[in-house]
Amino acid sequence: DAGITQSPRHKVTETGTPVTLRCHQTENHRYMYWYRQDPGHGLRLIHYSYGVKDTDKGEVSDGYSVSRSKTEDFLLTLESATSSQTSVYFCATLVGANSPLHFGNGTRLTVT
Amino acid sequence: ILNVEQSPQSLHVQEGDSTNFTCSFPSSNFYALHWYRWETAKSPEALFVMTLNGDEKKKGRISATLNTKEGYSYLYIKGSQPEDSATYLCAFYGGATNKLIFGTGTLLAVQP
């Protein structure tokens, strides 16, 4: 969908290790978002970007950082993974407010 | 903190029943209201993007209305089918921030 690729698709890591998830898009969409999916919480916004090098915090940004050095890539880094960050992470892109979000296929992260 | 609420949390109906869900959102800084359909193990799929007060949109048996002055939107499904079983999410787009904040969703189960 909209050429969005998330990598890796699955990852198991240990508590305390840094982890980087990648979102790559081929559609030149300006806005990019990282969400996490947890039972009972729906999708919660972690960080988002409104342009190259322009990022801002979402609802649940503690323990996460992002970078967007070029339009097509939006990286999400867990600086020191904790078990509470075990989740499914979705990247999404947006052309503009009147358009729908396009989602990647998700990354399932397990922190042991 | 933007508060986007959906009710009910879950709904069980019989095939052929019509049903509706509610999404409530802040009435200030409104820019758009999105509806998505989300099946287990898949990515969310866009249903509607609504921007104007009084807007009504329709896609097959599914329709939605929007009241931006009082901050709510209704999603209606006419003659529910088992394949309508999914989680239905709404998302509020606040123009001042470019954030897209989701509600926790309504889980619909349609029994044959």
Position B1 scores a pLDDT of 62
Is there a cis peptide before residue B44, judged by omega within 30 degrees of 0? no
Which of B23, B16, B1, B10 is CA-nearest to residue B91?
A: B23
Other beta carbons less than 10 A from residue B10's beta carbon? 10
Q: Please tell me if residue A106 touches chain B, with a CB cutoff of 8 Å.
A: yes
Query: Which residue is listed with tokens 């802040």?
Result: B26
What are the residue ranges in chain A where pLDDT is below 50? none
Cβ-Cβ contacts under 8 Å, B36 against chain A: 100-101
Residues B91/B101, Cβ–Cβ less than 8 Å: yes
Cβ-Cβ contacts under 8 Å, A33 against chain B: 100
Question: Length of chain B in residues, anyone?
Answer: 112
Integer Cα distance of A60 and A83 in angstroms: 15
pLDDT, one tens digit per residue, over B42-81 is 999 999 999 999 999 999 999 999 999 999 999 999 999 9
